[in-house]
């Protein structure tokens, strides 16, 4: 039977993109100083794997381009080519091209063959230069020279390869592995058919052949192992060196079938340099079950679509609500049976919380998934602008919900680009200011108070508050005589279309970035703050929820309705006194909190609800904060604090400004979850539409 390789395509594309990420990270480290063998080998292995996988699946354009790139990398690996910034630039662009080709292939769209051919010709030109220039540093060349040193006696490897019975069934091809060995050095292959059963008993999905290979040449052991990476755990493999390179034989892996004599002999010549290399075994379409089981024993992983995790999380959320309803129903019951029921429900609640946390951890990913894109961004944009910039990353193992990670990427890109363009000065300006010629941008992430804080810090020139204020007055955002605190001045840069750039470039200056940053962060239920010191630098601090599925909330009652206020937005709750409340002409009622005056938002008025109290002295004021603004929410009563499962309003209704979603309470009622930035925006819009006399009243 024929194995349908199309079922493995998605896995190949996903793993290839991950491999390209590691290739890019290694290339960026190469550009920072002298190359070392470990980095060069990492880059080579990525190209080698993608070439082999592409050839396996018939993606010939990708395989052909990557084969040429692999040849260039092999020159670097062998110590025959100098590593400089120009070569690194070419390799980075080659990685980008491979990514584009894979994306086009995955989407079944045509590849831009003109651009591929141009870059292919550039790589060929570099290779034809003969490796002019300084040799690769001694720490790279020395190990290669030691391995490839000419010996008087013949040296090489004896390889005994016994495939397991499931190797073919899992999409691996032994002949492809043998052809790959032939690309390393001339070799002689003997096939052993001793264990092949009679034809009527033969299962075509089982491999009953084994092979003995004698490879003639001083080849590194790691290169041999890489050929068999994808069948690790699927075969019995023994490597034995002979001649000057002889060493301790490699212990066999999982045994398959017993070794036997070798009646069949075949010779495979070394591949010519201008012939396409055979597919790499490492890039076989999918991990074998045995390999997966072996990985699992060491804490391995499996790929699960996010849709399945979302379904699981939704089911757990429904169970949490059901458990809460049962607890509510059991509360008024009395007697021995009632106590036992409540005890069992308490145990159920603990198990549900553990299950909920476990499912949430499945969705968690390290923020390094986002941070890893910035070394390349900083390097390329810094070179374009003629600035020397060092990027420092801390806390990249901090975990966030996958949905949050997907949405925080673009805001961070905007912030880092702004730091490079507006924040960091030119080397000449920095030296004149008594600074190092190299600017520094820091990306920090850490947990704080049940949230994740992400900071973008630069040691540039800082924000010029007077220029921001002048530009805001020019645009009518601030009155000519209106005085603003420094924090409010800095927050003006989040206004749509606002920019202080004197020149519009392809990097920035059109004012279409910072308002997007603020909007995206607000949609995530987060907050953004700016701190700056003129001449010293700036910091943008973003506070984000760990997840968008579950929320720590404070229940507040307004009339017969119950609202959930995110605890992260609450500053404090107080009961107002008469002397603290006043009305300002042509403005709404305000409340004096220490040295500040805060607008009062009556939720019953904002959402059209019949309240229990209208007198501010009878209810409570919840002081909440968003985007540097504070208001007092007037509510009738505070209830309990609890974690709630967020349900979207958009699925069954429509977006409502001021509401982030809804949840089900233990008594079966639906409670609306407040979006504090939206509440403030809705309040300001409502007040702006009223007549001055109405606002004063």
Q: Which fold has domain 368-545?
A: Heat Shock Protein 90 (3.30.565)
- Domain 5-146 and domain 550-696, same fold? Reply is no
In this prediction, residue 439 carries a pLDDT of 92
Q: What is the pLDDT of residue 634?
A: 92
Domain residue extents for the chain: 5-146, 151-297, 306-366, 368-545, 550-696
- Residues 228 and 150 sit within 8 Å (Cβ to Cβ): no
- Lookup result for tokens 């017993």: 258
The answer to whether the CB of 81 falls within 8 A of the CB of 75 is yes
What is the pLDDT averaged over residues 620-629? 83
Is the pLDDT reported for residue 579 higher than 60? yes
**pLDDT(598) > 90:** no
510 — pLDDT class (breaks 50, 70, 90): very low
CA 414 to the chain's CA centroid: 16
Among residues of the chain, what percentage have pLDDT more than 90? Answer: 13
Residues 151-157: what's their mean pLDDT?
Answer: 62
Which of the two residues, 123 and 231, has the higher pLDDT score?
Answer: 123
Share of the chain above pLDDT 70, in %: 81
Both tokens assigned to 366: 């390290």
**The tokens of 628 are what?**
């540097």
Burial letters 136-153, b for 16+ CB under 10 A, else e = bbeebeeebeeeeeeeee
Lowest mean pLDDT among 44-53, 62-71, 268-277, 344-353: 268-277
Q: Between 320 and 14, name the one with better pLDDT.
A: 14
CATH for 550-696, among 3.40.30.120, 3.40.50.1980, 2.40.50.180, 3.40.50.10380?
2.40.50.180
Residue-level pLDDT at 407 = 85
pLDDT value of residue 203: 81
Averaged pLDDT of the chain: 78
| Most confident region among 92-101, 520-529, 594-603 by mean pLDDT | 92-101
pLDDT on residue 353: 80
Between residues 622 and 328, which one has the greater pLDDT?
622
Tell me which of 106-120, 305-319, 447-461, 499-513 is least confident. Answer: 499-513
In the block, residue with structure tokens 């692999």 = 70
3-state helix, strand, coil in the chain (%, to 5): 45, 20, 35
**Tally: H helices and E strands in the chain:** 21, 23
Q: Could you give the C-alpha distances from 491 to 226, 484, 514, 596, 678, in angstroms and in order?
A: 54, 10, 10, 18, 17
Q: Which ranges of 78-187 would DSSP assign to H, the alpha helix?
A: 85-106, 113-128, 138-148, 174-182
pLDDT reported for residue 501:
58
Query: Who has greater pLDDT, 689 or 335?
Result: 335
223: left (phi over 0), alpha (psi -120 to 50) or beta: alpha
- The reported pLDDT for the residue numbered 263 is 32
How many Cα atoms sit within 13 Å of 421 on the Cβ side? 21
Average pLDDT, integer, range 616-623 = 88
Annotate 196-217 with three-state secondary structure.
Answer: CCCHHHCCCCCCCCEEEEEEEC
Helix, strand, or coil here: 612? Answer: coil
Provide the β-strand partners of residue 441. Answer: 391, 458
Task: Tell the burial category of 602 from Cβ atoms under 10 Å away from its Cβ (0-12, 13-18, 19+).
Answer: buried
pLDDT value for 138: 35
Please state which of the ranges 121-135, 288-302, 331-345, 363-377 shows the lowest mean pLDDT. Answer: 288-302
Q: In this structure, are residues 277 and 190 in contact, taking their beta carbons and an 8 Å threshold?
A: no
In this structure, whether the domain defined by 5-146 belongs to CATH 3.40.50.2020 is answered with: no
Identify the weakest region by mean pLDDT among 141-150, 204-213, 339-348, 457-466.
141-150
Confidence at 455, pLDDT banded by 50, 70, 90: very high
pLDDT over 70 at 641, yes or no: yes
Model pLDDT, residue 256: 39
Residue 105 pairs in a beta bridge with: none
The Cα–Cα gap between 469 and 452 comes to: 31
- Determine the average pLDDT of the residues in 103-111: 90
Confidence grade of residue 511 (pLDDT, cut at 50, 70, 90): very low
Instruction: Give 508's pLDDT tier (boundaries 50, 70, 90).
Output: low
Confidence (pLDDT) at 692: 46
Q: What is the pLDDT of residue 175?
A: 83
- Higher-pLDDT residue of 501, 600: 600
Task: Using the predicted structure, report yes or no on whether residue 274 has a pLDDT greater than 70.
Answer: no
- What is the pLDDT confidence band of residue 664, given thresholds at 50, 70 and 90? confident
Mean pLDDT calculated for residue range 118-144:
60
Left if phi > 0, otherwise alpha if psi is -120 to 50, otherwise beta: which for 90? alpha
> Where residue 688 falls among pLDDT bands split at 50, 70, 90?
low
- Looking at the predicted structure, is the pLDDT value of residue 88 above 80? yes
156: left (phi over 0), alpha (psi -120 to 50) or beta: left
Closest C-alpha among 515, 271, 279, 290 to residue 410:
515
At residue 287, the pLDDT reads 36
Instruction: Give pLDDT, residue 457.
Output: 94
Listing DSSP states for 10-42 in one string gives HHHHHHHHHHHHHHHHHHHHHHTS---HHHHHH
Looking at residue 538, what is its pLDDT?
A: 92
pLDDT mean over 293-302: 48
> Are 686 and 603 within 8 A, CB to CB?
no
**pLDDT bracket for residue 665 (50, 70, 90):** confident
Using the predicted structure, report yes or no on whether residue 526 has a pLDDT greater than 60: yes
**In this predicted model, what pLDDT tens digit does every residue of 24-74 receive, in sequence order?**
888 888 754 456 778 888 888 888 888 888 887 888 889 889 888 888 888
> What does the pLDDT read at residue 290?
34
Given this model, what pLDDT does residue 277 score? 35
How many other CB atoms are found less than 10 A from the CB of residue 332? 7
Q: How far apart are CA 368 and CA 349, in angstroms?
A: 34
Mean pLDDT computed over 559-565 = 91
Q: What is the 3-state secondary structure (H, E, C) of 252-263?
A: CCCCCCCCCCCC
CB 559 within 8 A of CB 369: no
Position 428 scores a pLDDT of 92
**What tens digit of pLDDT does each residue of 669-681 get?**
888 999 888 888 8
CA atoms within 13 A on the CB side of 331: 8
Q: Please give the pLDDT value at position 249.
A: 41
Q: Residue 3 has what pLDDT? A: 57
Average pLDDT score over residue span 225-233: 80
391 SS3 class: strand
pLDDT value of position 424: 92
Residue 248 has pLDDT above 60, yes or no: no
Model confidence at 582, pLDDT cuts 50, 70, 90, reads confident
Tell me: pLDDT of 444 over 90: yes
* Mean predicted confidence (pLDDT) in 442-469: 87
Cα separation, 331 vs 307, in Å, equals 36
- Least Cα distance to 494 among 460, 518, 459, 528 occurs for 518
**Is 239:250 a contact under the CB 8 Å cutoff?**
yes
pLDDT of residue 546: 77
| CA dist., res. 425 & res. 496, Å (int) | 25
Distances (CA, A) of 268 to 220, 333, 448, 643: 20, 83, 62, 66
Q: Where are the beta strands (DSSP E) in 517-658?
A: 527-533, 537-545, 550-558, 561-566, 570-574, 581-583, 589-593, 596-602, 620-626, 629-635, 637-645
Mean pLDDT of 278-306: 45
pLDDT digits (tens, 9 = 90+) for 391-415: 999 998 888 888 888 888 888 999 9
């Amino acid at each position: 039977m024929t194995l349908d390789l199309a079922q493995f395509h998605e896995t190949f594309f996903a793993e290839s993109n991950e491999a390209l990420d590691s290739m890019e990270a290694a290339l960026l480290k190469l550009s920072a100083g002298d190359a070392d063998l470990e980095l060069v080998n990492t880059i080579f292995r990525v190209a080698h794997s993608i070439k082999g996988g592409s050839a396996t699946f018939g993606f010939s354009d990708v395989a052909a381009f990557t084969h040429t790139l692999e040849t260039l990398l092999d020159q670097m690996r062998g110590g025959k080519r100098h590593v400089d910034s120009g070569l690194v630039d070419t390799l980075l662009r080659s990685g980008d091209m491979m990514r584009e080709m894979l994306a086009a292939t995955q989407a079944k769209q045509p590849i831009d063959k003109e651009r591929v051919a141009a870059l292919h010709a550039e790589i060929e030109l570099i290779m034809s230069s003969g490796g002019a220039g300084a040799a690769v540093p001694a720490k790279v060349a020395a190990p290669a020279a030691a391995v490839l040193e000419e010996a008087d006696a013949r040296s090489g490897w004896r390889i005994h390869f016994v495939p397991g019975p499931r190797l073919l069934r899992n999409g691996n091809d032994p002949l492809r592995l043998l052809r790959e060995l032939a690309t390393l050095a001339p070799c002689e292959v003997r096939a052993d058919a001793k264990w092949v059963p009679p034809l009527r008993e033969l299962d075509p999905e089982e491999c009953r052949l084994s092979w003995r290979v004698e490879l003639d040449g001083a080849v590194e052991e790691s290169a041999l192992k890489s050929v068999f990476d994808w069948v690790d755990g699927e075969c019995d493999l023994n490597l034995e060196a002979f001649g000057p390179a002889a060493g301790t034989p490699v212990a066999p892996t999982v045994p398959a079938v017993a070794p036997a004599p070798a009646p069949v002999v075949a010779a495979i010549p070394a591949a010519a340099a201008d012939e396409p290399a055979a597919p790499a075994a490492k890039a076989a379409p999918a991990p074998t079950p045995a390999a997966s089981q072996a990985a699992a024993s060491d804490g391995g992983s499996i790929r699960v679509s996010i849709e399945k995790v979302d379904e699981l999380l939704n089911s757990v959320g429904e169970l949490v609500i059901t458990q809460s309803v049962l607890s509510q129903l059991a509360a008024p019951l009395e007697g021995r049976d009632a106590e036992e029921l409540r005890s069992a429900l308490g145990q159920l609640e603990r198990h549900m919380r553990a299950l909920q946390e476990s499912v949430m951890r499945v969705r968690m990913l390290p923020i390094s998934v986002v941070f890893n894109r910035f070394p390349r961004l900083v390097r390329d944009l810094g070179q374009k602008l003629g600035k020397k910039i060092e990027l420092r990353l801390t806390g990249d193992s901090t975990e966030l919900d996958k949905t949050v990670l997907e949405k925080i990427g673009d805001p961070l890109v905007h912030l880092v680009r702004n730091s490079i363009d507006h924040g960091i000065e030119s080397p000449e300006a920095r030296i004149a200011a008594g600074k190092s010629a190299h600017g520094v941008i820091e990306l920090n992430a850490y947990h704080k108070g049940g949230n994740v804080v992400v900071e973008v810090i630069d040691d540039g020139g800082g924000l010029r508050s007077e220029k921001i204020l002048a530009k805001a007055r020019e645009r009518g955002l601030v009155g000519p005589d209106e005085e603003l605190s420094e924090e409010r001045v800095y927050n003006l840069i989040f206004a749509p279309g606002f920019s202080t750039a004197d020149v519009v470039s392809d990097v920035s200056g059109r004012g279409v970035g910072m308002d997007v940053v603020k909007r995206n962060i607000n949609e995530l239920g987060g907050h953004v703050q700016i701190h700056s010191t003129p001449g010293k630098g700036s910091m943008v601090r973003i506070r984000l929820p760990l997840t968008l599925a579950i929320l720590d909330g404070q229940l507040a009652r307004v009339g017969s309705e119950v609202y959930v206020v995110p605890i992260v937005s609450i500053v404090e709750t107080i009961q107002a006194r008469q002397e603290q409340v006043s009305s300002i002409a042509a403005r709404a009622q305000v409340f004096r909190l220490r040295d500040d005056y805060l607008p009062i938002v009556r939720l019953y008025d904002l959402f059209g609800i019949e309240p229990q109290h209208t007198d501010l002295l009878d209810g409570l004021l919840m002081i909440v904060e968003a985007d540097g603004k504070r208001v007092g929410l007037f509510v009738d009563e505070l209830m309990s604090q609890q974690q709630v499962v967020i349900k979207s309003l958009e699925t069954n209704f429509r977006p409502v400004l001021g509401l982030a979603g809804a949840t089900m309470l233990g008594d079966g009622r639906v409670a609306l979850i407040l979006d504090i930035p939206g509440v403030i925006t809705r309040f300001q819009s409502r007040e702006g539409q009223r007549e001055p006399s109405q606002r004063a009243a």
